[in-house]
Amino acid sequence: MEQQDKFYKGLFYGAVLGAAAGTVMGLLFAPRKGTETQQIITGTIKNALDKASDYYESSETDIAFSNDAKKRSQEIIDTAREEAKKILSEANSIIREIRGIPKTQEN
């Protein structure tokens, strides 16, 4: 069981890293303006997070899921949110670099 958990954890991190690399490459070779691309990325991520949150909240009423499964799914959602924020931050940084705007200090 532990080996299966490691497999899924590795799969998740691989997907996140692949998405980050794809985002960076997409921004570098994008046919659209940076602001348009940023709006599309932001909208897509917000929709995905909203769907994930809705799914999680609707599963709270479902007795079939155990508390452990709920806790793990919330951890996955939280991790996805954090990674999405990092990706957006990196994308904004790359857009600033391309435009020649100096990097601002982040909190």
Q: Which residues constitute the domain of residue 89? A: 34-97
Is 7 part of any domain? no
pLDDT (tens place) for every residue of the chain, 107 residues total: 677 778 888 889 899 999 999 888 877 777 777 778 778 888 888 888 888 887 766 655 555 556 777 778 888 888 888 888 888 888 888 888 888 766 555 54
Number of compact structural domains in the chain: 1
Model confidence, pTM: 0.35
**pLDDT value at residue 49:** 85
Is 28 part of any domain? no
Is 49 part of any domain? yes
Question: Distance between CA 51 and CA 54 in Å, rounded?
Answer: 5
Is 92 part of any domain? yes
DSSP string, the chain: -HHHHHHHHHHHHHHHHHHHHHHHHHHHT-SS-HHHHHHHHHHHHHHHHHHHHHHHHHHTT-TTS-HHHHHHHHHHHHHHHHHHHHHHHHHHHHHHHHHTPPPPPP-
Is 3 part of any domain? no
